[in-house]
A and B are shown apart, each in its own frame.
Chain A
Amino acid sequence: MAHQLTDVSVMGSGVSEPLELRVSPGKIGMWVFLAGEIMIFGGLIGCFVLLRLAHGGWAAEGEHVNWRIGAFNTLVLLTSSMSMALALGEARRNNAGGVKICLAITALLGLAFLGIKGFEYSREIGEGFTPWSGLFWNFYYMLTGLHAMHVAVGVAVNSTFLGLTARRGLVSTSALHLEFAGLYWHFVDLVWIFLFPLVYLSTNVK
């Protein structure tokens, strides 16, 4: 017995348009997800900082990470963030070619980041610094490893969008979906922005 609402006059204050006209469900959903992610990474980073403060002796272990490689990797990730943002700009200009180029660059830079990180891991393990070599290395491998997993997911998402754009071109929802993918990718970048000084720089400040 659904009500027939043909001639209902909606009176009174507070009758508003549905909110979906103002902000898309996908964006709210994405930000709720990111809020959860902030709490996970925030919790891990918080533990790292707290235990770091509790034990002054970590700096010695931290000197063995290579901050030059770290800085270069930061540059790679920052650049990929820019190309992701540019992909959105190109999508809004309805330029499918530009979107494809930008997404390809983003995905390749993401892969480059993972490759460099893998090289770094193998180098460190070669020098005898394994994930169980002490509290600093515990945290180092856990934080960067979890971050690398997020990068891998981001590369997969961006590649999927690249494939979709290549196959069917830009559709009406492309820019919106690209924005959601971008939010995730920028968040991954943002986590690294904090991991870089925490893991690499603060231990190497003379």
Chain B
Amino acid sequence: MASTNENRHYVQVWVWLVVLLVASTAIVLLPIPPAIGVAIVFGAAVIKALLVAREYMHLRAEYWLVYALALLPTALVLTLGVALLPDIAAHLTSYSVSVYIAAIIPFTAATLAAVALLNRSQAPAE
């Protein structure tokens, strides 16, 4: 195994993580509308999380069961959160709004599945 390359790769990932951290922190200092600012901040967090999971936790090339063990609870937590929206958070939202919110579940699941498949097809044969 070419571990020197492996280590260089780990450092490269770290550089990206720091860039994202700086970018999301800078949002606080810039005069950006809160809605957009929050979206950027959480978008950066999701990318950072994917980077850590994919590169440091080696989800880039794993046995399928490991994927299932990572994706299933993530999808389930999202489902739980969305299902509780009308009860706990959004007492006043109209029906159509909650339908849109509910549409997040399949969308998120599809995205996660796509990411997983993409990862697997790129996985180096070990």
Contacts and interface: CB of A to CB of B under 8 A. Distances in A.
Chain A complexes with chain B = yes
Interface of A: 22-23, 27-28, 31-32, 34-36, 38-39, 42-43, 45-46, 49-54, 67, 71, 74-75, 78-79, 81-82, 84-86, 89-90, 92-93, 179, 182-183, 186-187, 189-190, 193-194, 196-197, 201-202, 204-206
A29 B68 CA distance: 13
The binding surface of chain B is classed by DSSP as helix
A193 B45 contact: yes
Contacts of B17: 78, 81-82
Contacts, number: 147
B52 A205 contact: no
Contacts of A90: 3, 7
A35 B38 contact: no
B52 A193 contact: yes
A194 B42 CA distance: 8
A34 B69 contact: yes
Given A89-B7, A201-B27, A206-B32, 20 more contacts: A28-B66, A31-B65, A38-B73, A39-B77, A45-B77, A46-B77, A50-B81, A54-B91, A75-B18, A75-B21, A81-B52, A82-B10, A82-B11, A85-B55, A92-B3, A182-B57, A190-B52, A196-B45, A197-B44, A201-B25
A193 B31 contact: no
B73 A78 contact: no
A31 B66 contact: yes
A39 B73 contact: yes
Interface residues of B, number: 51
12 contacts: A38-B74, A50-B81, A53-B89, A74-B21, A82-B14, A90-B3, A90-B7, A92-B6, A186-B53, A187-B57, A197-B42, A205-B34
Interface in B50-70: 52-53, 55-58, 63, 65-66, 69-70
Contacts of A52: 89
Given A92-B6, A194-B45, A82 B25 contact: no
Given A46-B81, A71-B25, A206-B31, A35 B69 contact: yes
B125 interface: no
B41 interface: yes
B118 interface: no
Nearest to B6: A89
A165 B42 CA distance: 39
A42 B74 contact: yes
A67 B52 contact: no
A94 B13 CA distance: 22
B97 interface: no
A32 B1 CA distance: 27
